[in-house]
Structure 1
């Protein structure tokens, strides 16, 4: 009985260690987004239906939106002029 508990504790510890290292490696991969300045919101919404948000923590000041915005600080900064209500989401729909 003691041997079974010992082996199950070892297996559990190993699986937790493997799970933690794989989640750390998944977060370390940077995402590459081509930074493009769009002519207007129609052109931006063809590529990003929900618009572009500066960070994941910003909230829409307008009404209810139908799509979730894509989050990219660099892409938002390139298209900042399209954010009419200054809520850090450009061309939200």
Structure 2
């Protein structure tokens, strides 16, 4: 009985180590907003592609939310192409 349990656990461990986990094929689609007014209701400072981008338009009141996937889905709202959509 102990040998069967040992063999079973060994097999399960071996199987878990050798079989790679399936990668996630597609990322969850972020919300796409109709216009900047709608986007600014949820994200007052807009949405930035990364934390290292800077605003070309000058001073802003609020700090943008950083999310590459959300930015990509709302990229058309970035008129000045500074990688921050709907900055305020």
Whether TM-score is above 0.5 comes out as yes
Unaligned runs of 5+ in 1: 1-32
Structure 1, residues 68-88: CA drift from partner, whole Å, max 9, x if none? 000000000000000000000
The residue aligned with 2:17 is none
Q: 1:35 and 1:68, CA in 2 relative to 1: closer, same or farther beyond 3 A?
A: same
Runs (5+) with no aligned partner, structure 2: 1-27
Q: In the alignment, which of 55, 67, 90 is matched to residue 85 of structure 2?
A: 90
Q: Which structure features the higher share of helix residues?
A: 1
State the superposition RMSD in angstroms: 1.4
CA distance in 1, matches of 2:51, 2:30: 18
Give 2:50's match in structure 1, choosing from 55, 66, 78.
55
Runs of 4+ in 1 over 3 A off after TM superposition: none
Match in the other structure for 1:70: 65
* CA-to-aligned-CA distance 1:11-33 (integer Å, 9 cap, x gap): xxxxxxxxxxxxxxxxxxxxxx9
Counterpart of 1:40 in structure 2 is 35
